[in-house]
A and B are shown apart, each in its own frame.
Chain A
Amino acid sequence: MTGGELSLIPEAYFVGLRQTGTMAGARDSLLESRHPVAGSVCFEGLGKTYVSSAGPVTALAEIELEIPAGTIFGIIGRSGAGKSSLLRTINRLEQPSQGRVLVDGQDIGQLDENGLVALRRRIGMIFQHFNLLSAKTVFDNVALPLRVAGVAEARVYQRVHELLELVGLQGKESTYPGRLSGGQKQRVGIARALVHHPEILLCDEATSALDPETTQSILALLRDINRQLGLTVVLITHEMGVIREICDRVLVLEQGRIAESGPVWEVFGDPRHDATRALLRPIEHDLPADLLHRLSSRAPEAGPCQRVLELVYTGRGRIEPDLDRIAGVLGGPVRLLHGGVDRIQGHTHGRMLIATTAQGPTASVLVEQQLCHQAKELGYVADHV
């Protein structure tokens, strides 16, 4: 299934939204303007310390962060960086040791049990291993959050069918989760998470157990949900591709602390922290080994040779890899050896290695001429590269 097929959320969903009691008015305007009015999260000096047999362990420390309503917010970090703990403080599955979490300006640490149950109904959550109840059918799994909230059975029936249509699982109502594929299970998980019209959707490694194709379709579904329902999506992942694919903003966690955060193009284009660089390495283009062996820092005494330059694009401004102009500035033909660029949110970022026979101006001229953000002379290679 491709993203395109999923982009139409049935009208029934919106009809459903309008019928939800006291919040109906607010949600109407939400849908018409497509500008979310609710679903912001704010962390103030958040910290979490576990007591283990080896003494206290700091899972999170000094987290100051705001997640604007309606964004798709990615949290990345190595395993054990505290991603999961941070995500779970938003619906208080995890109790912070210090600081506060505000959802729509409300301190959720102050909520009593009824308040907490109400909060959790405004926050959907999906999981890496889906966490569907094996003893219940697809229908009963999706219906459960409504049933425990005491919603009338006729309404449950209608709502569950809307949701199953939204995630593309019509006709699977009476199937047990054990008979579904991973992608279908996650769709059930998404339907279950959305059944209460939440403002926020928490995704805990939601695509990590899925194959690349299914991952794409689930991401497309999440993006559609975000765009059409104005839902805030907070997702944690260790897959850089997921962040690049759908996130607006990203937070890099390292040992429980914020390494850096900002718009995805900025963080990915110009990573400032070692942790970010380490995470990005798998999708970066490094120097190929064969080239590395033959590079020398000085031009050979005799015979033809080529200069190898590295150009870096961070995504800032409107600078793009215009090969024609680069060749013009350098004064000779230019060949692209390795690397490439990506467009993220309209910003071009990446790294390229180019070779040229021209022995003209140094690489720094390219930066002056606004043809790249950083340029470096890597060296010379004798004869053909």
Chain B
Amino acid sequence: MRLGPFLFAALLTGAATHVSAAPSATCSTRLADGRSFLTGGTTSAAPNANPIAIAHFFENDGSLKPAAPMLAARAAHVCIALQDSSILVAGGVSGPGGPTNSAEIYDPKTDNGGPTGAMLTARTSAAAILLKDGRVLVSGGDYSGQIANTLEIYDPAENRFRVARDVLSSARAGHAIALLNDGRILIAGGTDGGRVLNTIDIFDPATEAIRPAGFMTSPRSDFTATTLAGWPRSLRRWFRR
């Protein structure tokens, strides 16, 4: 079994787990049963070189179990476990042709995948997140050397992507994305291709509007943003008194 060609920590997301990482060659997403599902990556240390289509389950006992390969080789793509437990995989570098806008849906129950509606823009190193209403937001990324400021929303009920109403305040790649406790989405930092950004946007899924929401104290790219769970237990007890 060929296990090797995964590179770097990947974007991991899950309904109950708050995970963030810089988008990278391999993509990993957490399933509802606690396992992870790993897709694609590259066969060499060079970023985005020789993308592959293989996929694995990372079982709860730590073992790796092969899954049906993706329809296309992908690196630096996005992958998200949907609310019905199927997995959306989209974009990334697919071969010598560079970025792809193709997308596919994999069903871990049947170990089968199939195509779904493509993104409107071919993106690599985008950041994606599952919205509370079950849709998926894909933000920014790199398309053939240009950094994108656009957002796309995938609706599983329609099996297609469409462009969101608003755009980011800046083009962003290498940015961080996080689900806030109220269901809005924080999108921060990254690079616009020329400079590293300290700006923060908040996306409202209900209106699809982007609102500039302040600044980080330092410009940051390739970083993590993690929403905290609650007040420290000692403070929670203090407030209950």
Q: Do A and B bind each other?
A: no
